[in-house]
Amino acid sequence: MTTLRLILGDQLSQDIAALNDYEAGDVVMGAEVHDEATYVPHHKQKIVLIFSAMRHFFAELDDAGFATRYWQLGAHQSLFEAVRATAQEVGAKRIILTAPGEWRLLDEMETWSDRLGLPVEIRGDDRFFADHHTFQAFAAKRKTLKMETFYRQMRQETGILMEAGEPVGGTWNYDAQNRKALPKGAVIPTVPTFTPDAITQEVMELVATRFCDHFGTLATFNWPVTRDEAEQALDDFIAVRLPAFGDYQDAMSVGEPFLNHSLIAPLINCGLLSPREVCARAEAAWRDGRAPINAVEGFIRQILGWREFIRGVYWLKMPEYAESNALNAARPLPDFYWTGRTKMRCMAQAIDQTRDHAYAHHIQRLMVTGNFALLAGIAPAEIEAWYLVVYADAYEWVELPNVHGMAIFADGGVFASKPYAASGSYINKMSNYCRGCSYDVKQKTGDDACPFNYLYWNFLISNEDKLRGNHRLSMIYKTLDRMDQRQRESIVASSERFLSHTLNDDLAEPPLLR
Ligand code: FAD
Ligand code: DLZ
Ligand code: SF4
């Protein structure tokens, strides 16, 4: 009996559940399809990464002795069509696949068995530490969902950074040691270079032609596309950037897109690296004395804690989750999110590097582009679509809760106890962006003032009915209450002027002249 085993573009691992019991006579299939490449117009680099990694992965499967059927772009419009054609071609009697990461695709795949007239087995994705049942059980016992509580449970369950049932070093969380700005003259570590081989070059030409209207630069493509390259990227991070990862996790610096970050999210998310091996490598670096505990714990918390927790929230709350709009935000996305042409230097820096590398680190996503969207009241669907398009690591299961819940508080606080709103002083403290900015971070209102300053207070004023009752904001509202009427009026007037006029006219020079 021939079994057809489907591997999706973000399931590129030989350990994937769908391959577990592969036997002679089975066929493993993959397909580059137009529908997946365009359900949002992904950044060009993301499509190159996925298609090139898929082509390399299927070549590795061939070498390892699997029987495969691989379809390059153009053969089939959708995954369903590709599966139907392959099932007919090989005479498949059943189909096995690993559950997709996104709700829309699982919803569709659940119709496949009826439409194909064949049994379709959808297996849980055991690349994650926690299955859906574990997260549901965690959530069922609690009124509020806290990442830290879940993270501690995961530490206990996995034994990662644990000794005799206790956290190593006697503390669960070293976050307080992870908030340094970059010192003047700091030497920025380099990231390795991955030169596109013939396969990647061919895919780059395909993407440049077929998806020429998608966002992003291709000339700067530097993502690993094979398991070997992904391992090199991980080795390099552990040796070079992990030791100071904790210290500078929240720092931002002009012209420095990567700092001490790992750049592995696109690789874990598409299957080239496994979260288990990444955590094991980081823990080993601490145990061997090659990296301090604040770096290693901080890094492992992102993967074992945040990444698992965010996925748990997604599957717990979808599909209704995406529909909420707790702050009734409705403003269209400003054009400068695509062009980078704004005088706000922090925004221009984050957007320019996003265009050039399909990458921005967490604090840029949360406290710069996300914070601006929150303060300006950008409609959830518009800003979420942007995040899903522009990053090489973007898949809805991880993008949506991070944007909808963490950055713009559109879920009303499913897991964030208050909105991550901040004025320009936070960005000034954590970066050197403000020094060369056209706006003055010290001024609170007026045309020259940093827009984040007045928009921050305007946000609190305009959402007062929804936020004043939040006990974590009580001090802030007390400060607001102490402001005199003129100050409040000036904040509102500056905000109205900026949001209705300057927002779309505030054009800086084109990126090349900046
Ligand atoms: P590092 O800073 O080196 O962190 C290590 C790893 O921890 C990451 O590779 C990632 O796997 C994991 N991680 C860290 N924070 C989170 C988090 N909040 N949620 C899930 N995993 C996390 N991450 C994505 O993978 N895809 C997304 O589409 C995505 N969208 C985001 C949108 C917003 C508004 C915010 C605030 C965060 C988003 N993140 C997303 C989380 C995080 O910003 C990225 O994982 C990280 O910037 C990727 O860069 P890195 O690999 O260098 O991470
Ligand atoms: C992201 C992506 C892209 C761009 N293209 C494909 C593709 O052609 N074929 C495929 O199997 N997968 C692709 N993917 C990844 C899927 O979109 C991903 O599996 C779903 O979004 C679920 O996470
Ligand atoms: Fe951003 Fe304001 Fe600083 Fe300019 S002054 S870089 S707009 S925070």
Token couple for 20: 């577990």
- Our mutation pick for probing the ligand 1 site, out of 269, 362, 389, counting the most ligand atoms within 8 A of Cβ, is 362
Give the CA count within 13 Å in the CB-facing half-sphere of 236: 18
Atom of ligand 2 nearest to the CA of 100: 22
Q: Mean pLDDT in the chain?
A: 96
Question: Among all ligands shown, which has an atom nearest to the Cα of 367?
Answer: 1
Question: Among all ligands shown, which has an atom nearest to the Cα of 364?
Answer: 1
Q: Is 85 exposed, middle or buried (0-12, 13-18, 19+ CB in 10 A)?
A: middle
- Our mutation pick for probing the ligand 1 site, out of 402, 404, 408, 415, counting the most ligand atoms within 8 A of Cβ, is 402
192 vs 233: CA distance, rounded Å: 7
Q: What is the 439 CA–ligand 3 centroid distance (Å)?
A: 6
Shortest-distance Cα residue to atom 1 of ligand 3: 346
Q: Is 440 exposed, middle or buried (0-12, 13-18, 19+ CB in 10 A)?
A: middle
Question: Mind listing the pLDDT tens digit for each residue in 107-130?
Answer: 999 999 999 999 999 999 999 999
Question: Mind listing the pLDDT tens digit for each residue in 33-89?
Answer: 999 999 999 999 999 999 999 999 999 999 999 999 999 999 999 999 999 999 999
Q: What is the 362 CA–ligand 1 centroid distance (Å)?
A: 6
Q: What is the 360 CA–ligand 1 centroid distance (Å)?
A: 9
- Our mutation pick for probing the ligand 2 site, out of 7, 10, 391, counting the most ligand atoms within 8 A of Cβ, is 10
* pTM for this predicted structure: 0.97
Q: Which residues contact ligand 2 via a Cβ below 6 A? A: 8-10, 31-33, 36-37, 42, 47, 50, 79, 100-102, 105, 395
124 vs 132: CA distance, rounded Å: 9
Asked whether the predicted pLDDT for residue 503 surpasses 80, the reply is no
Question: Among all ligands shown, which has an atom nearest to the Cα of 242?
Answer: 1
38 vs 140: CA distance, rounded Å: 36
**pLDDT category of residue 508 using cuts at 50, 70 and 90:** low
Q: Which residues contact ligand 1 via a Cβ below 6 A? A: 261-265, 268-269, 299, 302-303, 306-307, 310, 361-362, 365-366, 370, 387, 391, 393-394, 398-399, 402-403, 406-407
Whether 252 contacts 427, CB under 8 Å:
yes
The predicted structure's pLDDT at residue 513: 41
Q: What is the 375 CA–ligand 3 centroid distance (Å)?
A: 14
Asked whether the predicted pLDDT for residue 346 surpasses 80, the reply is yes
Kindly report which listed range (28-32, 181-185, 302-306) carries the lowest average pLDDT score. 181-185
**pLDDT category of residue 246 using cuts at 50, 70 and 90:** confident
Pocket lining: 452 vs ligand 3, CB cutoff 6 Å: yes
163 vs 169: CA distance, rounded Å: 9
Shortest-distance Cα residue to atom 41 of ligand 1: 362
- The whole-number average pLDDT for the span 333-352 is 97
Asked whether the predicted pLDDT for residue 511 surpasses 90, the reply is no
Pocket lining: 441 vs ligand 3, CB cutoff 6 Å: yes
Q: What type of residue sits at position 95? A: I
Asked whether the predicted pLDDT for residue 151 surpasses 70, the reply is yes
Q: For the chain, give the percent of residues with pLDDT over 90.
A: 93
Q: What is the 3-state secondary structure (H, E, C) of 107-141?
A: HHHCCHHHHHCCCEEEECCCCCCCCHHHHHHHHHC
**pLDDT category of residue 181 using cuts at 50, 70 and 90:** confident
Q: What is the 467 CA–ligand 1 centroid distance (Å)?
A: 27
221 three-state secondary structure: coil
Q: What is the 147 CA–ligand 2 centroid distance (Å)?
A: 28
Phi, psi of 139 (to 5 degrees): -70, -35
Q: What is the CA radius of gyration of the chain?
A: 24
Question: Among all ligands shown, which has an atom nearest to the Cα of 368?
Answer: 3
Question: Among all ligands shown, which has an atom nearest to the Cα of 178?
Answer: 1
The predicted structure's pLDDT at residue 506: 58
Whether 508 contacts 352, CB under 8 Å:
no
Q: What is the 186 CA–ligand 3 centroid distance (Å)?
A: 22
Shortest-distance Cα residue to atom 8 of ligand 3: 424
**pLDDT category of residue 288 using cuts at 50, 70 and 90:** very high
Atom of ligand 3 nearest to the CA of 441: 5
Q: What is the 333 CA–ligand 2 centroid distance (Å)?
A: 25
Question: Mind listing the pLDDT tens digit for each residue in 399-431?
Answer: 999 999 999 999 999 999 999 999 999 999 999
Whether 453 contacts 444, CB under 8 Å:
yes
Question: Mind listing the pLDDT tens digit for each residue in 424-476?
Answer: 999 999 999 999 999 999 999 999 999 999 999 999 999 999 999 999 999 99
DSSP state for residue 64 in the 8-state scheme: T
268 vs 303: CA distance, rounded Å: 10
Question: Mind listing the pLDDT tens digit for each residue in 292-332?
Answer: 999 999 999 999 999 999 999 999 999 999 999 999 999 99
- The whole-number average pLDDT for the span 262-272 is 98
245 vs 299: CA distance, rounded Å: 7
Helix %, strand %, coil % of the chain (to 5): 55, 5, 40
Q: For the chain, give the percent of residues with pLDDT over 70.
A: 98
Q: What type of residue sits at position 31? A: A
124 vs 227: CA distance, rounded Å: 22
Shortest-distance Cα residue to atom 11 of ligand 2: 8
Pocket lining: 336 vs ligand 3, CB cutoff 6 Å: no
Q: What is the 230 CA–ligand 2 centroid distance (Å)?
A: 19
Question: Among all ligands shown, which has an atom nearest to the Cα of 32?
Answer: 2
Pocket lining: 431 vs ligand 3, CB cutoff 6 Å: no
Asked whether the predicted pLDDT for residue 10 surpasses 90, the reply is yes
Q: What is the 7 CA–ligand 2 centroid distance (Å)?
A: 10
Question: Among all ligands shown, which has an atom nearest to the Cα of 378?
Answer: 1
Q: Which of 442, 465, 453, 463 is nearest to 490 (CA)?
A: 453
The predicted structure's pLDDT at residue 480: 97
Pocket lining: 426 vs ligand 3, CB cutoff 6 Å: no
Q: What is the 363 CA–ligand 3 centroid distance (Å)?
A: 14
